[in-house]
A and B are shown apart, each in its own frame.
Chain A
């Protein structure tokens, strides 16, 4: 088509890494749908990074206490027995094995029972 066209120089989209340790630090212009899962970043926007402690803290979220909807039944993987078994093990792990359990993890589990 246009033979005398000038090609502009290309370069990578600049990105910036921002550590987020708390919800209050989420960018104010970040999008979520109510109760939903649609999010957007703009080019040159942020990478969503969560540190270990923040992720572990969220394990006790009320949302995380019920299995996902439409979880398939797979014998030995997702059946009912496993659910209660996991909770028992977690309590033990927090006490005995895991060197760095999330603070208050035990208390939260006891509250749920």
Chain B
């Protein structure tokens, strides 16, 4: 059976002035539990297949280290093809409007310019993931369902999905803390839209229920 015994090599690499190198090394193998188990999905826009056929579960994780093991070994969003998405959702919630935990909800939507694909997309995506798995929104974290990144020719999008578009307090907490965390300029506004409005929209824009 595989155990977490540190190998000799690691022990030798510990700093010489470390009082108890063996303990420090063992610490490196500790897994830190997350509040939630998360599922990472990949969507590829293949027109010959149905939407659900194009949606693929990559992996689930529930520790900090298992998150990084996954993150370190998959493509960055900026290198995905156009029409592709990553979705990270709490285990049990499907990354679609129709899911019971999503259907009354909505999303904080951040639209990026084309230039930002190279400058900001991957950085923002990682920060967003860290916000979610680290439960950065205090009690409002319970309202979070997941996050989606859409890679699109016109401009990429990152959106945080929450469970109920009427939960104003939780939504505002999430929006404000998210904006702060990404270090977005005050003048840059992000909007929250209900999935209902997004799915039934007739034009190209959906009205914002909230903005920060």
Contacts and interface: CB of A to CB of B under 8 A. Distances in A.
A58 B29 contact: no
B184 to A, nearest CB: 14
Contact of B31 (A47, A63, A65, A72): A63
B133 A72 contact: no
A52 B131 CA distance: 8
B141 to A, nearest CB: 7
B98 interface: no
A90 to B, nearest CB: 8
Interface range, B side = 35 or more
B58 A48 contact: no
Contacts, number: 134
B64 A55 contact: yes
A61 B65 contact: yes
B155 interface: no
B108 to A, nearest CB: 19
Given A17-B138, A98-B123, A67 B68 contact: no
Contacts of B27: 23
A84 B58 CA distance: 19
Interface in B126-160: 127, 130, 133-136, 138-139, 141
Interface stretch (B75-83, B163-171, B187-195, B196-204): B75-83
Contact of A74 (B28, B30, B42, B76): B42
Interface string B33-67: 11100000010000000000000101101111110
Interface string A30-66: 1010010101000000011111101110110111111
A113 interface: no
Contacts of B135: 47-50
B20 interface: no
B13 A111 contact: yes
B121 to A, nearest CB: 11
Interface range, A side = 35 or more
A68 interface: yes
A83 interface: yes
B74 interface: yes
B70 A71 contact: yes
B9 to A, nearest CB: 10
A78 interface: yes
Interface of A: 15, 17, 23, 26, 30, 32, 35, 37, 39, 47-52, 54-56, 58-59, 61-68, 70-72, 74, 76-78, 82-83, 86-87, 89, 93, 97-98, 111
The 10 closest A-B pairs by CB, nearest first: A64-B68, A67-B73, A50-B134, A63-B65, A39-B33, A48-B35, A61-B65, A58-B64, A64-B69, A49-B135
